[in-house]
Amino acid sequence: MLINGSETNTLISEIVGRLRNKQTNPADFRISLKRIGNYLAYESAKFLETVVLPVETPFGTSNFRKIKKNTVIITILRAALPMSEGVLEVLPEAKVGVISASRGKQLKEDGRDFRIDCTYTSIPYLEDKIAIVVDPMLASGSTLLFTLQQIKEQKPLKIIVLCAIASRFGTERLLREFPEATIIAGAIDEELNKKGYIVPGLGDAGDRAFNT
């Protein structure tokens, strides 16, 4: 399943505009990543498991739905750190895992595939859990394919991917390999250039967030 947040939520579209703007300074860029993490987490809540609990009001009893404590947020270092903070604000009882996975050698001249270098992984046990993977950019899909392959081995109940910007190619590639996944993107762009960058995109999210 693929959801384009900008098509249904004006607030998401506005935040995406701030992230795209080349004049946005690193501090404001990090704040905007955190904010879009908030909004995309709200969208993801539609797919989380809930329980019905009672609550006493001043005049009687009512019921409410509460998200189960079976959610794990997986942050792809480093660019996803501010965005994951926003997701965790909305889902404060979730467990958190991290994976340091980054692009290595370009394997195809058209920018459609890369070797992935992974230097560190720490992910809670995922069986019977809902994995929410956070990565600002879904470009060629190589990093997320690598990550989801590691995750699927643990047999999670669901896999949800949150990204600020996704390419059409990357989403289609990911869903071919993992049709059971749900991708929630702030916006979806049609072009992927020969270096594997999304166009118009927003540039390199990690470099812009951390002023490098």
Q: pTM of this prediction? A: 0.91
pLDDT digits (tens, 9 = 90+) for 20-60: 999 999 999 999 999 999 999 999 999 999 999 999 999 99
Q: How far is the C-alpha of 185 from the C-alpha of 166, rounded, in Å?
A: 6
Whose tokens are 């404590």? That residue is 69
Architecture of domain 2-210: 3-Layer(aba) Sandwich (3.40)
Alpha-carbon torsion angle 176, 177, 179, 183, nearest 10: -90
Surface-to-core class of residue 196, CB atoms within 10 Å of its CB (0-12 exposed, 13-18 middle, 19+ buried)? buried
Report residue 64 CA to chain centroid gap: 27
Q: What is the pLDDT of residues 85-122, one digit of tens each?
A: 999 999 999 999 999 877 667 767 676 767 777 788 88
Q: By C-alpha distance, which of 62, 50, 130, 134 is closest to 98?
A: 134
